[in-house]
Amino acid sequence: MATSSAYPPPPPFYRLYANYEEEKNSAPAPPPPIEGPYQLFGASYTTEDVLPSLEDQGVRQLYPKGPNIDYKKELKALNRELQLHFLELADVLVDRPSQYARSAEDISLIFKNLHHLLNSIRPHQARATLIHILELQIQRRRQAVEDIKRRREEAQRLLQESLQILNGQRDS
């Protein structure tokens, strides 16, 4: 009769931590964090968190280069251009369906540029989200402090009333 366990056995490296309760320094230290390039599932990655430029990816950039980009203006312009190319694609599909590939490539190029612009403002979005979360936490903590102060004052008032009632009963 075969028996089965409700839980699988622990992994083999649990033996490294066998004496942990008696001797806290017996467990091996974790490996240092990876820095630089590394391989994962056959693909090469790097720990540097830098957005590669469109030119590095072999894609033509449709918006101006430089650090001072008006993201809102450029996103609107690319969106208008995308709408125009969709209408052009519809015309091409109706009039000359065999020539749709060029319009599809143009739309793909616009989407890649839109995607790159959106990804380049992600750090700003992350900072804004973090600021919002921290402001909410501060607001909640201030409300909690005010609630504690209010309850403390109410408790002091109740104690004073109780003392007055007790003093009144003792006097009579």
Question: Tokens 């890649």 label which residue?
Answer: 112
Residue 154 has pLDDT above 70, yes or no: yes
Residue 27 has pLDDT above 80, yes or no: no
In this predicted model, which residue has the larger pLDDT, 80 or 11? 80
Per-residue pLDDT of 41-53, as tens digits, reads 998 888 888 888 8
Total tally of structural domains belonging to the chain: 1
Cα 103 to Cα 109: distance, rounded to the nearest angstrom: 10
Per-residue pLDDT of 78-95, as tens digits, reads 999 999 999 999 999 999
Domain assignment of residue 147, yes or no: no
Among 25-34, 36-45, 75-84, 88-97, whose mean pLDDT is lowest?
A: 25-34
Domain assignment of residue 149, yes or no: no
Q: Please name the helix (run of DSSP H) or strand (run of DSSP E) that holds residue 40, with its range, or none.
A: strand 37-40
Q: Please name the helix (run of DSSP H) or strand (run of DSSP E) that holds residue 44, with its range, or none.
A: strand 43-46
Domain assignment of residue 31, yes or no: no
Q: Model-level pTM?
A: 0.60
Q: Whole domain around residue 117: which residue ranges? A: 57-122
